[in-house]
Amino acid sequence: MRLLHRAAGLGLAALIAGALPASAQQKVLRIAMTAADVPTTTGAPNNGFEGVRFLGYPAFEGLVLWDLSRADRPATLRAGLAESWAQDPADPKTWIFKLRPGVKFHDGADFNADAVIWNLDRYWKNDSPQFEPAGSGIARARTPIMAGYKKLDDMTVAVSTTRVASYFPYMAVYILMTSPQSFEAAGRDWSRAAALPPAGTGPFRLSKFTPRVSAELSRNEGYWDKARIPKLDRVLLLPMPEANTRLAALRSGQVDWIEVPPPDAIPSLKQAGFNVVTNSYPHVWPWFYQMGGTATPFKDVRVRQGLNYCVDRAGLVGLLNDTAEPSVGWLKPSDPNFGKPENHYGFDPGRGKALLAAAGFTPQKPLTFKVMISASGSGQMLPLPMNEYMQQNLKEACGVEVSFEVTEWNTLLTAIRQSPDAPILNGSTSVNPSSPSSDPAVAARYFLQAFVPPNGFNWGQWNDPAFEEAFAALEVAKDEAAFNAAYAKAHERLVDNPPWLYIVHDLNPRAMSRRVKSFVSAQSWFQDLVTVDLQ
């Protein structure tokens, strides 16, 4: 099957030319994103984790940050706006954060405990003047165990959770801080604050924003970590959801960096001297099964397992020119916490058809369902040709009839926070959003029964008592051995009682001009722009 392409937009050159800064002396990195629009710019970016990657962490920071400095291991955590954090010995549901002194927001305001409480009220206090419904929805979905918070002194805050959670710092990375002063300067109007520009504490500051066209980041010379002052003067972010448009922009020199190049163009890009960067990282591209709806076929575990045996993952990897690797679980088989599940998924149509037949689906009564997919988006790789491949593969291998509800990325993200039969799904009983698989905090949001929408991302309403028991042991684990043993047991249930159809793990491909230097391809969905330079 050939990858599907469309002609590049004719107005691209004019778009970039109009967005470029006048000075040719400065180092300006131009990045083509897969997003269809510029992510929101107020410190609570939409457009999934691509929004966080480009209009989150570069300009806005949390109490805890990702360590993106290495390419040879999965990213870990490091101190951010909090110098340290720990569970309260008297109450393990409470975390104490000691804040970093001397930090200022881009607008000159001081970062302190009052600013932290103000930001938490923005997300969790519905009647606060700064409450922002859109940002609140994102924050609450990513941190669904927030119970309360309070200021202990000017540089210390306490955050309480609804359950003991050893992984809470992995949720804290997504609570980004914005200057309260910038909100006041905008007349307490978030839409105006988006263009002031808004003020975070990050190594870059937002210097220009044109809706649906571009956003520009500029180096923050006053950044609190003097060892991490960016080498670039500016970064220009351009939404380009169509892969061929991004490819044409790179080849013509209109941009320096593109996310997700078309796989069939990679050999010619390398031959032309472009740098194509990939790396293994914790990210999975699946179909979610809906188990709670009234008309879903996925209540039967044999259907969910059977489909996992029907997928020719190696064929899809070949289609993607080896920019992905087969997925047979939420974690990769090489992960020490993969466990020892009973099922070892591979391309076995005979076993897949037998399981489907046992569940009542035969050539005379084929399994039929609809999947909601996006045309592009954060982490979605190349969803249209990939899903067309899946449609043909499942039909030819196991007689399964799949149709698609094609929508925009943010609509898909909205849909997976809805009830099983919500009108927005239009009859879809499966959805195709990609997901990081970086840590148990993500697993909690997707798989614990407590986090069915609107409390989290367990859209399928999956409920496995053995998983719940193992995860409870993980949450209260006091040492690494106990933590890992519980995590492996939990993951075994994700394989043997699959809530998802596991398809591939992304290898995070991006293509760059030879001018781009010193980029470290972290094993993370997020990347560090501070080290990047232009020759």
Q: Considering only CA atoms, which of 500, 479, 468 is closest in space to residue 163? A: 468
Residues near 51 by beta carbon (within 8 Å), at least 6 away in sequence: 35, 39, 40, 45, 378
Q: What pLDDT is recorded for position 15?
A: 55
Residue-wise pLDDT tens digits, 125-180: 999 999 999 999 999 989 999 999 999 999 999 999 999 999 999 999 999 999 99
CATH superfamily of 26-59+202-281+509-535: Periplasmic binding protein-like II (3.40.190.10)
| Integer Cα distance of 202 and 225 in angstroms | 9
Which CATH superfamily hosts domain 283-506? Dipeptide-binding Protein; Domain 3 (3.10.105.10)
The CB-based long-range contact list for 98-102 (8 Å cut-off, 24+ gap) reads: 98/155, 98/156, 99/63, 99/155, 99/156, 99/157, 100/224, 101/155, 102/224
Q: What is residue 11's predicted lDDT score, i.e. its pLDDT?
A: 53
Q: What residues pair up with 33 in beta bridges, in sequence order? A: 239
Check residue 156 and give its pLDDT: 98
Count the alpha carbons within 13 Å of 250 in the hemisphere toward its beta carbon.
34
The β-bridge partners of 322 are none
Question: Does the CA dihedral 372-374-378-383 come out positive or negative?
Answer: positive
Please identify every stretch of the chain with a pLDDT value under 70, giving residue numbers as ranges. 1-24
- At residue 196, the pLDDT reads 86
* Residue with the two structure tokens 């010619």: 268
β-sheet with 146-153: strand ranges across:
82-88, 91-99, 156-161, 146-153
**Ranges of CATH 3.90.76.10 domains, the chain:** 60-181
| Structural Rg of the chain based on CA atoms | 23
Give pLDDT, residue 3.
Answer: 33
Find out whether 166 and 475 touch, Cβ atoms under 8 Å: yes
Residue 247 CA to its chain's centroid (Å): 23
Cα separation, 371 vs 233, whole angstroms? 43
Query: Which backbone phi and psi does 113 adopt, to 5 degrees?
Result: -60, -35
Domain 60-181 has CATH 3.30.559.10: no
Question: How far, in Å, CA of 511 to CA of 266, rounded?
Answer: 8
Residues 404 and 384: their CA atoms lie apart, in Å, by: 10
CA distance 301 to 499: 9
CA atoms within 13 A on the CB side of 257: 21
Q: Locate CATH 3.10.105.10 in the chain.
A: 283-506
**pLDDT computed for residue 13 by the predictor:** 57
Domain with CATH 3.40.190.10 in the chain: 26-59+202-281+509-535
Q: In the prediction, which pLDDT does 110 show?
A: 98
Strand partners, 217: 206, 235
